[in-house]
């Protein structure tokens, strides 16, 4: 049955906004009506490009026609903008991370619950066809009992391509808070929540030199750890190893592998929606590349999680890229950083249920049977 689309306003017109604006057009569950940015000229440019209204952030939050705010501001502003949106009575979907401090993330989850509002957060790549296929393989027992996982985000840093890379090296940035949400969300979706963390980290270089076209030669001070290694004990008993780094020239390590009593699963890059899924079971002489079982397998579908939240608003079901999931991921990341300094293993206080898998047979643009 057709339902009225959720009216959406986007705050933050930076580098990621085009991906959201393009993908959101492909879902009947939502319609973007306005954008806002502290830089009024940037908001006006984005609004003209996509045929939308350009508002100030204050005016967008005060607009009674906007039901859902997508928060695409810089990481240090995520918690404040999301809080203001919830206080204005809006449903909220934020770019990752949910916050940069645990207390701020906890307050957002509590505020949304108190107001009866939905809080969602990126990443939503775990809803893509590649990782949903992996979820089905794990759930259907192709690996047997899960034993472990490894995840590697090996990078030389974003200053070679990003037009404004400073925030990646400021508090709230670094490879862990910037990129680990993709990997941790994928692992938790497959293996369940994390119980305990041990880790080590280092800041390999005190400055970086930008080589992007816009800032070529600019020196960037580094204020965060840029090579971070974590070992995670899941509540189900599996142990995952995570490395995130901005300090390597190149790597041939796999992005994500999951190991079970009956075989090994090679998963796609968790920063993408598709990619090859390969399985090698005990006794097999080679890897088998498996067909992708779910949709959203090609292209950039950032905004899929917001569309799922919008659909859930109309149907009353839980949304998948939830604030609870993002809060658990945030606690894992901050525990990794804390343990790297203290040297003492840390047990987490939060837990979360694995999100419901997407149904089979969906057409692109659909989210429910």
Residue 18 sits in a domain whose CATH number is 3.40.50.720
CA atoms of 279 and 53, how far apart (whole Å): 48
Q: Are residues 19 and 48 in the same domain?
A: yes
Q: Are residues 180 and 274 in the same domain?
A: yes
**pTM of this prediction?**
0.96
Q: Are residues 201 and 133 in the same domain?
A: yes
Provide mean pLDDT across the span 213-236: 96
Q: Are residues 146 and 189 in the same domain?
A: yes
CB 111 within 8 A of CB 297: no
Is residue 1 pLDDT above 70, yes or no?
no
Domain ends where: 268, 290, 312? 290
349 is a domain residue = no
The answer for residues whose C-beta is within 8 angstroms of residue 153's C-beta and 6 or more apart is 175, 179, 180, 182, 183, 243, 244, 245, 255, 271
Provide mean pLDDT across the span 43-63: 98
Each residue of 313-360: pLDDT tens digit? 999 999 999 999 999 999 999 999 999 999 999 999 999 999 999 999
Which residues are registered as beta bridge partners of 54?
Answer: 35
Reading the block at residue 74, the tokens are 């810089």
Q: Are residues 183 and 313 in the same domain?
A: no
Which residues are registered as beta bridge partners of 322?
Answer: 120
- Residue 65, domain extent: 6-125+301-322
Q: Are residues 231 and 135 in the same domain?
A: yes
- My answer on whether omega of the bond before 123 falls inside 30° of 0, hence cis, is yes
Reading the block at residue 78, the tokens are 């995520």
Q: Cβ of 97: how many Cβ atoms within 10 Å?
A: 27
Task: Calculate the average pLDDT of the chain.
Answer: 97
Query: What CATH number corresponds to the domain at position 269?
Result: 3.30.360.10
Q: Are residues 61 and 207 in the same domain?
A: no
Under the banding of pLDDT at 50, 70 and 90, the label for residue 172 is confident
Q: Are residues 155 and 232 in the same domain?
A: yes
pLDDT of residue 3: 82
Q: Are residues 121 and 131 in the same domain?
A: no
């Amino acid at each position: 049955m057709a339902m009225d689309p959720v009216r959406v306003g986007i705050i933050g017109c930076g580098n990621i906004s085009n991906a959201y604006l393009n993908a959101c057009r492909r879902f009947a569950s939502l319609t973007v009506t306005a954008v806002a940015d502290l830089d009024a000229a940037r908001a006006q440019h984005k609004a003209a490009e996509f045929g939308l209204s350009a508002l100030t952030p204050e005016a967008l939050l005060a607009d009674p026609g906007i039901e859902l705010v997508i928060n695409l501001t810089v990481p240090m502003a995520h918690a404040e903008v999301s809080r203001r949106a919830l206080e204005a009575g809006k449903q909220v979907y934020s770019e990752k991370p949910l916050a940069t401090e645990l207390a701020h993330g906890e307050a957002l989850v509590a505020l949304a619950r108190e107001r009866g509002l939905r809080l969602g957060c990126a990443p939503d790549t775990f809803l893509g066809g590649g990782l949903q296929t992996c979820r089905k393989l794990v759930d259907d027992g192709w690996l047997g009992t899960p034993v472990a996982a490894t995840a590697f985000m090996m990078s030389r840093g974003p200053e070679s391509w990003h037009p404004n890379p400073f925030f990646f090296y400021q508090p709230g940035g670094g490879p862990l808070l910037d990129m680990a949400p993709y990997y941790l969300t994928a692992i938790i979706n497959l293996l369940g929540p994390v119980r305990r963390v041990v880790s080590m980290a280092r800041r390999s270089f005190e400055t970086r030199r930008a080589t992007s076209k816009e800032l070529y030669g600019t020196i960037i001070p580094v204020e965060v750890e840029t090579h971070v290694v974590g070992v995670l004990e899941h509540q189900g008993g599996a142990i995952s190893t995570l490395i995130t780094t901005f300090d390597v020239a190149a790597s041939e390590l796999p992005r994500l592998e999951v190991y079970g009593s009956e075989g090994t699963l090679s998963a796609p890059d968790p920063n993408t929606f598709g990619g090859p899924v390969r399985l090698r079971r005990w006794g097999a002489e080679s890897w088998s590349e498996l067909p992708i079982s779910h949709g959203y397998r090609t292209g950039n579908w950032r905004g899929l999680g917001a569309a799922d939240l919008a659909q859930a608003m109309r149907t009353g079901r839980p949304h998948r890229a939830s604030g609870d999931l993002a809060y658990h991921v945030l606690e894992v990341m901050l525990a990794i950083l804390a343990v790297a300094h203290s040297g003492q293993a840390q047990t987490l206080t939060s837990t979360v249920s694995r999100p419901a898998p997407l149904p089979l047979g969906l057409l692109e643009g659909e989210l429910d049977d």
